[in-house]
Amino acid sequence: MFYFIGLGLGDAKDITVKGLEVIKRCSRVYLEAYTSILTVGKEALEEYYGRELILADRDMVEQEADEILKGADVSDVAFLVVGDPFGATTHSDLVLRAVNAGIKYRVIHNASILNAVGCCGLQLYNFGETVSIVFWTDSWKPESFYDKIKRNRDMGMHTLCLLDIKVKEQSMENLMRGRKVYEPPRFMTVAQAAEQLLEAVQNRRERAEEPAITEDTVCVGLARVGADDQAIRAGSLREMAECDLGAPLHSMIITGHLHPLEVDMLRLFSSPEGLRGLKMTDSSTYVS
Amino acid sequence: MFYFIGLGLGDAKDITVKGLEVIKRCSRVYLEAYTSILTVGKEALEEYYGRELILADRDMVEQEADEILKGADVSDVAFLVVGDPFGATTHSDLVLRAVNAGIKYRVIHNASILNAVGCCGLQLYNFGETVSIVFWTDSWKPESFYDKIKRNRDMGMHTLCLLDIKVKEQSMENLMRGRKVYEPPRFMTVAQAAEQLLEAVQNRRERAEEPAITEDTVCVGLARVGADDQAIRAGSLREMAECDLGAPLHSMIITGHLHPLEVDMLRLFSSPEGLRGLKMTDSSTYVS
Task: Write out residues 265-284 of B within 8 Å (CB-CB) of A.
Answer: 265, 268
Asked if B121 lies within 8 A of A18 by C-beta distance, the reply is: no
Residue extents of the structural domains in chain A: 2-111, 114-287
H/E segment holding residue B45: helix B42-49
Cα separation, A213 vs A130, in Å, equals 16
> What is the band of A58 on the pLDDT scale with cuts at 50, 70, 90?
confident
Asked if A121 lies within 8 A of B92 by C-beta distance, the reply is: yes
The pLDDT, as a whole number, for residue B88 is 66
Taking only the tens place, the pLDDT of each residue in A3-20 is 999 999 999 999 999 999
Residue B99 backbone dihedrals phi, psi, to 5 degrees: -60, -45
Q: What is the mean pLDDT of chain A?
A: 93
Q: Does A226 touch chain B (CB under 8 A)?
A: yes
The pLDDT, as a whole number, for residue B4 is 97
pLDDT at B251 over 90: yes
Asked if A114 lies within 8 A of B115 by C-beta distance, the reply is: yes
Of the CATH numbers 3.50.50.60, 3.40.1010.10, 2.40.40.20, 3.40.630.30, which one belongs to the domain with range B2-111? 3.40.1010.10
Distance from CA of B206 to the nearest CA of A (A): 27
Taking only the tens place, the pLDDT of each residue in A240-263 is 999 999 999 999 999 999 999 999
pLDDT at B2 over 80: yes
Strand B218-223 with B250-254, pairing: antiparallel
Q: Taking the C-alpha atoms of B93, B99, B104 and B106 in order, what is their torsion angle to the nearest 10 degrees?
A: 40
Question: With contact defined as beta carbons under 8 Å apart, do B245 and B190 qualify?
Answer: yes
Mean pLDDT of A82-88: 86
Taking only the tens place, the pLDDT of each residue in A130-145 is 999 999 999 999 999 9
The pLDDT, as a whole number, for residue B241 is 97
Distance from CA of B228 to the nearest CA of A (A): 9
pLDDT at B87 over 80: no
Asked if A151 lies within 8 A of B155 by C-beta distance, the reply is: yes
**Mutant choice from A11, A35, A38, A90 vs B, greatest count of B C-beta within 10 A:** A90
Mean pLDDT of B6-16: 96
CA angle A35, A40, A42 (to 5 degrees): 70
pLDDT at B97 over 90: yes
Which candidate from A6, A10, A21 shows the least CB-CB separation from B111? Answer: A6
Of the CA atoms within 13 Å of residue A86, those in its CB half-sphere come to 29
**Mutant choice from A23, A79, A117, A124 vs B, greatest count of B C-beta within 10 A:** A124
The pLDDT, as a whole number, for residue A183 is 86
Which candidate from B15, B116, B128 shows the least CB-CB separation from A17? Answer: B15
Cα separation, A106 vs A272, in Å, equals 48
Task: Write out residues 2-41 of B within 8 Å (CB-CB) of A.
Answer: 6, 8-11, 13-18, 20-21
A97, A93, A90, A80: which is closest to A14 by C-alpha?
Answer: A80
The pLDDT, as a whole number, for residue A100 is 95
Taking only the tens place, the pLDDT of each residue in A203-218 is 999 998 888 899 999 9
Cα separation, A124 vs B132, in Å, equals 12
In the A/B pair of chains, how many CB contacts fall below 8 A? 181
CA angle B264, A9, A161 (to 5 degrees): 65
| Chain B residues with CB-CB distance to A95 below 8 A | 121, 265, 268
Mean pLDDT of A105-114: 96
Cα B106 vs. chain centroid, distance in angstroms? 23
Task: Write out residues 158-197 of A within 8 Å (CB-CB) of B.
Answer: none
CATH topology agreement for domains B2-111 and B114-287: no
The pLDDT, as a whole number, for residue B277 is 74
Asked if B13 lies within 8 A of A14 by C-beta distance, the reply is: no
Higher pLDDT residue, B194 or B35? B194
Choose the weakest-confidence range: A77-91, B93-107, B206-220, B221-235.
A77-91
The pLDDT, as a whole number, for residue A88 is 66
Quick count: other Cβ atoms within 10 Å of Cβ B221? 28
Annotated binding residue A218: no
Percent of chain B at pLDDT > 90 equals 77
- Helix B42-49 with B17-25: angle, nearest 10 deg: 80
Task: Write out residues 91-120 of B within 8 Å (CB-CB) of A.
Answer: 92-93, 95-96, 99, 107-112, 114-116, 118-119
Asked if A111 lies within 8 A of B151 by C-beta distance, the reply is: no
Annotated binding residue A9: yes
Question: With contact defined as beta carbons under 8 Å apart, do B149 and B256 qualify?
Answer: no
Bond from prior residue into B249 cis (ω within 30 degrees of 0):
yes
Beta bridge partner(s), residue A186: A166
H/E segment holding residue A40: none
| CATH T-level topology, domain B114-287 | 3.30.950
Choose the weakest-confidence range: A91-95, B31-35, B69-73.
B31-35
Taking only the tens place, the pLDDT of each residue in B237-250 is 999 999 999 999 99
> What is the band of B171 on the pLDDT scale with cuts at 50, 70, 90?
confident
Considering only alpha carbons, which residue of chain B is nearest residue A14?
Answer: B16
The pLDDT, as a whole number, for residue A181 is 87
Mean pLDDT of B87-103: 88
Distance from CA of B118 to the nearest CA of A (A): 5
**Mutant choice from B96, B100, B123, B124 vs A, greatest count of A C-beta within 10 A:** B124
pLDDT at B210 over 90: no
Choose the weakest-confidence range: A220-224, B24-28, B51-55, B274-278.
B274-278
